[in-house]
Amino acid sequence: MNRRARAKFLLVLVLCAGLGALAFFLGRSLLLQQVQVVSSSMPDMDENIEQRIQGFHRVNVRDGAKVWDLSARQARIQKGQSRILVDEPSLELHDEDWTMVRVRSGRGQVDLNDGDLSRVQLDGGLTVEFDGYRLESDQGTYLGQSRQIVLARGGSVKSAVVDLSGDFILLDLDESVVGVVGNVVTEFHPERPSEDSSDTESALADQELLGADLLTKVSFADPASPVVIRAGELRFDLDASRILYRRGVEVEQGEFRTRSEELEIVYAGDPRDESAVDLKKVAARGDVVVRQKERTAWGDSARFLQETRTIELAGNARLREGDSEVRGEKLTVLLDEGASVIEAEPGRRVSAVLFAEDFGAPSGSDKEPEKSVLPEDQP
- Statement: residue 36 has pLDDT above 70: no
Region 184-209 average pLDDT: 55
* Close Cβ partners of 291 (under 8 Å, ≥ 6 residues apart): 256, 257, 258, 297
Same domain, 63 and 78: yes
Report the distance separating Cα 278 and Cα 172, nearest Å: 25
Domain interval for residue 67: 49-295
pLDDT (average), residues 165-171? 93
The reply to whether 290 and 311 lie within a common domain is no
CA-wise closest residue to 235 among 195, 290, 184, 306: 184
CATH number at residue 202: 2.60.450.10
Angstrom distance (rounded) from CA 139 to CA 42: 10
Lowest mean pLDDT among 67-76, 149-158, 220-229: 220-229
Q: What pTM value is reported for the model?
A: 0.72
For 267-293, what is each residue's pLDDT tens digit? 876 555 545 567 788 999 999 999 988
> What is the rounded distance in angstroms from the CA atom of residue 206 to the CA atom of residue 227?
23
Same-domain check for residues 267 and 237: yes
What pLDDT shows up at residue 359?
Answer: 45
CA nearest 369: which of 329, 335, 328, 322? 322
Residues 124 and 217 in one domain: yes
Among candidates 178, 148, 184, 153, which has minimal Cα distance to 166? 184
169-180 pLDDT per residue, tens: 999 988 889 999
Is the domain of 68 the same as that of 135?
yes
Determine the residue type at 341: V
pLDDT digits (tens, 9 = 90+) for 80-136: 668 899 999 999 998 765 568 999 999 999 999 988 999 999 999 999 998 777 889
Q: 241 pLDDT exceeds 90?
A: no
Give the model's pLDDT for residue 201: 45
Query: At which of 295, 310, 337 does a domain end?
Result: 295
pLDDT of residue 32: 33
Q: How many domains does the chain contain in total?
A: 3
Tell me, yes or no, whether 303 and 191 share the same domain: no
